[in-house]
Amino acid sequence: MKPLIILTSLLPVLLIPSLASADWLHEEAAIMGTAINVELWHGDVKQGRVLIEAVMDEMRRIDDLMSTYKPDSELSSVNGNAARGPITVDNELLMLIGQALMFSDITHGAFDVTYASAGQYYDYRKGRKPDGKQLADVLPAISYHHVRLDTVQSTIEFLQPDVRIDLGGIAKGYAVDRSIAILQAAGVRNALVSAGGDTRVIGRHWDHPWKVGIRDPRNRDGLVSTIPLEDAAISTSGDYERYFEEDGVRYHHILNPGTGDSSREIHSASIIGNNATDTDALSTSVFVMGVDKGLKLVNSLPDTEAIIIDNRGRMHYSEGLARVTQ
Ligand code: ADP
Ligand code: MG
């Protein structure tokens, strides 16, 4: 008995030297309504842990600014007031809305943050959707042309009274990019940050590229593919994240701005690119655009690839990936 007691009391002392050494660190947290994952290599474990906490704080800061679930977020205040005239907003929020509008332009309105004018009437947990009259009433409010930004005055105005915006299709990617910037500024060379379906990696994992799985949209535990990545971002938009079914029809969280109804040509769209803000917005965009238009857009963009699973379970690849998968 006695030697064992001595051993256990020595244990904390023996652990101290290893605490100061280099190691892979991993942390998970629930922020922005999703799972945040941070994994990194750091020469000083204690310092590495401080950096992971800084990333989690950054995620919370962005959520506090941009969540539509928080009544006191700046975005909620925009939604409550911008239809009455131009209101001054934080530069960072203004910039991200500006980027969202740019994606509306290049997708001809498939990506449109004013989808929320109808989106606010869906509750996927309670199985609630807008009725026909509600939808007809709010459809005219869905158009990014109703959002006027003035970057000189730092103001935003909605030109139609029923407009609501939601950054759910781009903010997680943006938060991932901000997190990677924090890690890079602190000298981290190998890391992965993910927020739900949006992931960005720098460097490698051990001596391999990072590997990010693409889920089988109809089998929770299955993967259809594993993508090796170095210094890249990947985002997946799927119809299995938040949904309910009624009369055999799936109502999920990615809406066609033209109809206010869920988009149903695709089960999942994954985009690979240089940064997570772009891949996030593009995965939502391609999901709405469908296979042909979506691939055409992706093939026209530099350093951007797509893997799409359509509503019959068939896989489609952008040109750069089709070359390597053949
Ligand atoms: P998630 O990681 O939450 O599944 P996605 O990147 O797949 O996010 O985007 C889905 C989210 O994008 C929705 O929850 C909603 O907030 C927002 N969204 C839905 N439809 C559109 C649209 N047509 N344009 C822009 N954003 C949208
Ligand atoms: Mg997205």
To the nearest whole number, what is the mean pLDDT of the chain?
94
Alpha-carbon distances of 203 from 56, 86, 172, 197, rounded to whole Å: 20, 43, 21, 20
pLDDT confidence of residue 4: 46
Q: pLDDT confidence of 322, banded at 50, 70, 90?
A: confident
Q: Which two tokens stand for residue 39?
A: 């994994």
pLDDT at 326 over 70: no
- Write out pLDDT tens, residues 31-53: 999 999 999 999 999 999 999 99
pLDDT confidence of residue 1: 41
Residues above pLDDT 90, as percent of the chain: 91
Rounded CA gap, 54 and 40, in Å? 13
- Write out pLDDT tens, residues 183-227: 999 999 999 999 999 999 999 999 999 999 999 999 999 999 999
pLDDT confidence of residue 132: 94
Instruction: Return the residue whose CA atom lies nearest to atom 9 of ligand 1.
Output: 169
Query: Which ligand is closest in space to the CA of residue 111?
Result: 1
Rounded CA gap, 246 and 130, in Å? 13
- Which ligand 1 atom is nearest residue 169's CA? 12
Exposure of 13 by Cβ count < 10 A (0-12 exposed, 13-18 middle, 19+ buried)?
Answer: exposed
pLDDT confidence of residue 3: 46
Instruction: For residue 280, report the distance from its CA to the centre of ligand 1, in Å.
Output: 9
pLDDT confidence of residue 20: 59
pTM, two decimal places: 0.93
Alpha-carbon distances of 75 from 62, 232, 261, rounded to whole Å: 11, 29, 23
**Sign of CA pseudo-dihedral 31, 37, 43, 45:** positive
At a CB cut-off of 8 Å and minimum separation 6, what does 290 contact? 263, 265, 266
Instruction: For residue 255, report the distance from its CA to the centre of ligand 2, in Å.
Output: 12
Dihedral (Cα; 211, 243, 59, 111), 10-degree rounding: 90
Which CATH number is associated with domain 74-158? Answer: 1.10.3980.10
Q: pLDDT confidence of 6, banded at 50, 70, 90?
A: very low
Q: pLDDT confidence of 2, banded at 50, 70, 90?
A: very low
Residues lining ligand 1, Cβ inside 6 A: 111-113, 115, 166, 168-169, 172, 196-197, 237, 241, 253-255, 257, 280, 283-284, 288
Q: pLDDT confidence of 160, banded at 50, 70, 90?
A: very high
Instruction: Return the residue whose CA atom lies nearest to atom 10 of ligand 1.
Output: 169
pLDDT at 62 over 90: yes
